[in-house]
Structure 1
Amino acid sequence: MASDPWQGHDVAGLITVLFAGAPTLIGLTVYLCSRLTRQARRRNTPFRTWRDVSLAAVAAGIALYLWGLLHILFLEDQEQAEECERQRPEGTPALVGRRGDFIPLRLVCETSDGRDYSVVIPGYINPSLTVLLLLALLSAVASGLLHHKQRTSTRKKG
């Protein structure tokens, strides 16, 4: 039920993201490995290099996100509640709920005074995802600009 204050993450959502993310990660990994062949390296250009850096950052981000999801998936509701109790800060009043957020990825324990705190998901996951997202975005922009520059200089020559 949606009004349940102890709901955590939606299991169907967790499994959907895992089943969509795993093949995506595998596909990206296979593609990036294919870019390491001698033939692919000979045809390398700056915009392709930046594109591959962007895709590698995306792949690393997906792997990290899936790793965080696995931390949640293997904990039963009771274990999640116990983790909330175990990590409750000193002087924090009674727990009144628990919720799961997918963005940022976290399991949040809610207290009666309106404060909350995260448990289960390793603390390095969300900051690392932010850095990887920025790297992917900047690399994609660099790749696009270099590709555009190459295309416009080729048109001027021809």
Structure 2
Amino acid sequence: MNEAPSSPASLASDSPDGLNSILLLFICLIGVIVVFTLIGLLGSGIAKRTGRRKTPAEWLGAIALLSVCATVALYIWGALHVMFMESDTMREACAKAGGEAKAAQVDRYSASYLPLRFTCRIDEGGSYDAAVPGYVNPAMGIAFVLAIATGAVSVVARDQNRPTSPTVTRGR
């Protein structure tokens, strides 16, 4: 977690972390590519299997892919809230989250990228979170757990349905 003082010169950057916003932008771009790739993979899998009934393992695999897409999309959504904070919107976000009295005492900001968090730090000690919607981290966690669970069950179901190699008997 990086911290930036609230001097006017340091608040001119596009995020509370300055150069870290470049890394976050890169992560967001990779995330968008991953989401579109997974949706394309899912679509091609559905198109390839038309005309026959889907197995439970295939349904679970599709749910796992959609859950991964949801997790990545939620992360991107929350990261964009952190990344595009400007100096005046930082102060507004702190005022909205904690009130004008607390916002007047804020002397610096910090951001955390896992879990996503934008924190307003008070000069007398203490802090409070602002800017990232409250549903992002819990929803991201639920989607991640769902992706892991359905992916694991999909692999187990696929392996159980796989035929074993037949034993070859030789005629005498």
**TM-score category of the 2 structures, normalised to the smaller one:** 0.7 to 0.9
CA distance in 2, matches of 1:48, 1:35: 9
Q: 1:41 to 1:124 in 2, by over 3 A?
A: farther
Give SS of 1:75's match.
coil
State yes or no: 1:155 paired with 2:146.
no
Q: CA deviation at 1:143?
A: 1.0
CA distance in 2, matches of 1:69, 1:59: 15
Question: In percent, how many aligned pairs have the same letter?
Answer: 26
Q: CA deviation at 1:109?
A: 1.0
Task: Give a deviation string over 1:54-98, Cα, whole Å, max 9, x none.
Answer: 110000111111122222333313321332134225875822321
Q: Any residues of structure 2 matched to 1:41-56 within 5 Å, and which?
A: 42=52, 44-56=54-66
Q: CA deviation at 1:13?
A: 1.7
Could you tell me the TM-score, scaled by structure 2's length? 0.76
Q: 1:115 aligns with which of 121, 126, 130?
A: 126
Q: Any residues of structure 2 matched to 1:123-142 within 5 Å, and which?
A: 123-142=134-153
Structural RMSD (CA): 2.6
CA distance in 2, matches of 1:3, 1:142: 42
Aligned residues: 155
Which residue in the other structure is 1:8 paired with?
Answer: 16
Q: Contact 1:8 / 1:99 at 8 angstroms: preserved in 2?
A: yes
Give SS of 2:164's match.
helix
**Equivalent position amino acid for 2:106 in 1:** L
Give SS of 2:4's match.
coil
Q: 2:77 aligns with which of 63, 67, 70?
A: 67
Task: Give a deviation string over 1:23-50, Cα, whole Å, max 9, x none.
Answer: 1111111122223337346263222221
Which residue in the other structure is 2:115 paired with?
Answer: 104
Q: Contact 1:5 / 1:99 at 8 angstroms: preserved in 2?
A: no
Gap runs ≥5 in structure 1? none
- Structure with higher Rg: it is 2
Deviates more, 1:20-29 or 1:84-93: 84-93
Which residue in the other structure is 1:30 paired with?
Answer: 40
Q: 1:79 to 1:90 in 2, by over 3 A?
A: closer
Q: 1:87 to 1:28 in 2, by over 3 A?
A: same
